Structure 1
């Protein structure tokens, strides 16, 4: 026992409403274990005085380890490498922007600077030539065995009346290839598209409402200054009745933080909550894009305000975006519905998302489209292929194990290093992690969901652990996993060790 010590990536957390117990949460290996509170001092000292059964369990699960700090960081890097090489990494999401134009002039929109480029630049839509090239590239990806999980319609405003020809092209082309669509729309012209929006073809529509009518209309108004609230609300009813799933998003900063707390009552009043295809959530605006930094709020402030206005904890966790993401990520894993949490990259921009703008320029992050410094390539119209530049690997190589201030963080594989753009604005580089209030959210969510799971099942081991994988891979196979450029070779190796996680392999 003297050779063992508590993993550098372990957290000791209280279990909510469970007396005499504590939670060991390892954010790299994904192991969540309930232990007697009386054993914590012994665990901190490397397991001395623990009974043999508990000691062996904590060793197997990766809470008590022999590895040095450097060796554990190498474990994290190997898990990141496995994550990139697992078969599910063949999944990708493609974002298609029919236009940069928008019929709204939202006062907080991070896309406002595009207006400076003039109406000619804003007003044109994606040409048939670009669309043909995009779908030729999609066909090539499919031939290569990649799975296009979703195509997103994005803008600007993708569902402008003037875009209908392009949108019909995209919808029909996706349907022919059995690709589900997601549409991020302001919802104003939805009634003009209702005839071509089929529930079976769309995963969901994301529509934004920013508060009660008087608040929303001051934030999300038409280019001519008119309000948009009533038209959007009527269109939401229209698409819900047709059976389309709606994710209703509310963007929140200090100017509407308290007023939006009335929205759930409005959703109930309008009958939205009776639809199983309706979901709402609150999201803090991206702080680095706020003109006035004092107007930005944190996810923690938003969550605390939700509770202060009478929302019960379960509701607040489900409908506050960051808290809901952690709930699904960790909750699904401890419910044995998925493999242990493993998220070395913060979001799709660093993992599996690609954005094509109206001119065929490529980005990985949809928050920075039109910003030339963030392009990662272009669409070659002659060859009908995407061509990538040296910015592309900068995004795809941004994982938490490589970020200088994330190496010691026990939440590294749950957080993924935070937003690259927020980091770039805060530190002048994307090569640092951006924490925000993730730690506070994690420490609020995980004891709650693990406590509920323990009370329900009585099980001490909540979900699996990637430490099993790390411990069993031979040095020779580890060397191959670090060096190989062949996904097939890596998958053949990983299949030997991942028998218990068969669902990963398609």
Structure 2
């Protein structure tokens, strides 16, 4: 036997946390046992505590002499990347939006374009052509603002669900909406069509939100979104059927990071707290290289940590694994072969942020003509961090896989490796704190 190259040990008061980034195993051990572990890992073939040795092998801290961890990681990456068992589609029924948020990456490509019946039929036909080779179909409704086309979402959903039911395929759906049109009527339509997650955005309390997320004509939006949410309170109280989880996202930068905490307090003191989850996300702008208004990765990490602590103090449900450094294979929709983002004109992209960018288009739904795919597509699908000398020698490779977001790595030359390495200790300690505090 030999020691894994992905072992990480962290001192934690009177004990030591043992973590392996390939297997995601985590164990708490005393210092005497830690000393024994180090001796075993240094020379596994010596006579020693056989039970402890087997435990280390079970967690992946010890491996067989002939086991190639790097090859195993590469194998799992390509298996996930080129798997066709799950079809994951993001569908934008319109390229228009009723908002004009200044930080939105789509603001320059928004146009008054809606999906035609012809494109709708091609999407349905495409799904039918794939249905016999998948076990799960996942749909995310996107835009623009997708609820501008609520009738089309309703009609398409009914057809897609019927196809899945006929072929015994699992169906999963979600929607990303600004919340302005999330009326009771539209909410019940989404429930009927098995939408399980609804993401909306509030960028702080009323005054701050309305300065950042306003209508085309500059009109305010906060009170309308909140009224929509209050209109759902009685539905969640009755809970006669499985209801979607509503995730409120707060896009955060220097201008509203304090307001994120104000919104948390506002919701925690209202009936909305019973069915809403809160999260913050960093505003990303590759042009702001000096972080004049966007947060650095380190700053955002601290804000998020403080935000989660306050969420827990206020009684919101926090996942024990929120901070846990998880093993990844394929990172997102960008680097999976059986995924696509379909615009209202039928154009297909690999990433949500590419929608409307003709240079990133990889084809047209329903058209099997082989195109000259953009270089970025091949970078998404063929990038292999296990072939990099730096990555292959890194003990957090299985949770980083070359730097995070494929789009930002490829287009903007931005990686989050440095932050991952800096935060690995705090992430494990925070995870341990959440796990032990809930027991």
TM-score category, normalised to shorter length:
0.7 to 0.9
**Relative to 1, partners in 2 of residues 1:343 and 1:306: Cα closer, same or farther, differing over 3 Å?**
closer
**1:411 matched residue in structure 2:** 396
Q: What's the CA shift for 1:14?
A: 2.8
Q: Is the 8 A contact 2:308 2:318 kept in 1?
A: no
**2:355 matched residue in structure 1:** 369
Distance between the aligned counterparts of 2:153 and 2:369, measured in 1?
Answer: 21
Range with greater deviation from structure 2 (389-398 or 364-373): 389-398
Q: Is the 8 A contact 1:174 1:180 kept in 2?
A: no
Distance between the aligned counterparts of 1:453 and 1:291, measured in 2?
Answer: 37
Q: What's the CA shift for 1:360?
A: 1.0
Structure 1 counterpart of 2:225, from 232, 237, 243: 232
Distance between the aligned counterparts of 1:137 and 1:411, measured in 2?
Answer: 39
**Relative to 1, partners in 2 of residues 1:197 and 1:145: Cα closer, same or farther, differing over 3 Å?**
closer
**1:348 matched residue in structure 2:** 333
Work out whether 1:270 is the aligned partner of 2:282: no
Work out whether 1:57 is the aligned partner of 2:49: no
**Relative to 1, partners in 2 of residues 1:154 and 1:320: Cα closer, same or farther, differing over 3 Å?**
farther
Q: Is the 8 A contact 2:81 2:381 kept in 1?
A: no
Work out whether 1:11 is the aligned partner of 2:3: no
Q: What's the CA shift for 1:228?
A: 0.7
SS, match of residue 22 in structure 2: coil
**Relative to 1, partners in 2 of residues 1:310 and 1:195: Cα closer, same or farther, differing over 3 Å?**
closer
Distance between the aligned counterparts of 1:402 and 1:315, measured in 2?
Answer: 44
Q: Is the 8 A contact 1:357 1:369 kept in 2?
A: yes
**1:212 matched residue in structure 2:** 205
Distance between the aligned counterparts of 1:125 and 1:208, measured in 2?
Answer: 23
Q: Is the 8 A contact 2:322 2:431 kept in 1?
A: no
**2:70 matched residue in structure 1:** 73
Q: 1:249-328 residue pairs with structure 2 within 5 A?
A: 249-275=249-275, 278-288=276-286, 293-298=291-296, 300-305=298-303, 311-312=309-310, 325-327=322-324
Give the paired residue count. Answer: 417
Deviations 1:161-192 (A, max 9, x none): xx244223223223323534311001112226
Q: What's the CA shift for 1:58?
A: 2.4
Distance between the aligned counterparts of 1:91 and 1:297, measured in 2?
Answer: 35
Work out whether 1:184 is the aligned partner of 2:176: yes
Distance between the aligned counterparts of 1:184 and 1:452, measured in 2?
Answer: 28
Q: Is the 8 A contact 1:344 1:401 kept in 2?
A: no
Q: What's the CA shift for 1:225?
A: 0.9
Gap runs ≥5 in structure 1? 116-121, 331-340, 458-506
With normalisation by structure 1, the TM-score equals 0.72
Distance between the aligned counterparts of 1:219 and 1:53, measured in 2?
Answer: 59
Structure 2 counterpart of 1:445, from 408, 427, 435: 427
Q: 1:93-104 residue pairs with structure 2 within 5 A?
A: 93-104=88-99
SS, match of residue 14 in structure 1: strand
Q: Is the 8 A contact 2:94 2:344 kept in 1?
A: yes
SS, match of residue 199 in structure 2: strand
Q: Is the 8 A contact 2:213 2:221 kept in 1?
A: yes
**1:496 matched residue in structure 2:** none
Gap runs ≥5 in structure 2? 165-170, 237-242
Distance between the aligned counterparts of 1:414 and 1:320, measured in 2?
Answer: 21
Work out whether 1:397 is the aligned partner of 2:382: yes
Q: Is the 8 A contact 1:377 1:388 kept in 2?
A: yes
Q: What's the CA shift for 1:130?
A: 0.7
**2:85 matched residue in structure 1:** 90
Structure 2 counterpart of 1:42, from 39, 43, 58: 39
Q: Is the 8 A contact 2:93 2:146 kept in 1?
A: yes
Distance between the aligned counterparts of 1:84 and 1:425, measured in 2?
Answer: 20
**Relative to 1, partners in 2 of residues 1:187 and 1:60: Cα closer, same or farther, differing over 3 Å?**
closer
Q: What's the CA shift for 1:342?
A: 4.1
Deviations 1:399-422 (A, max 9, x none): 543556422232222334301122
With normalisation by structure 2, the TM-score equals 0.82
Q: What's the CA shift for 1:217?
A: 0.6
SS, match of residue 348 in structure 2: strand
Q: What's the CA shift for 1:249?
A: 0.8
Range with greater deviation from structure 2 (440-449 or 176-185): 440-449
Q: Is the 8 A contact 2:18 2:27 kept in 1?
A: yes
Q: What's the CA shift for 1:222?
A: 0.7
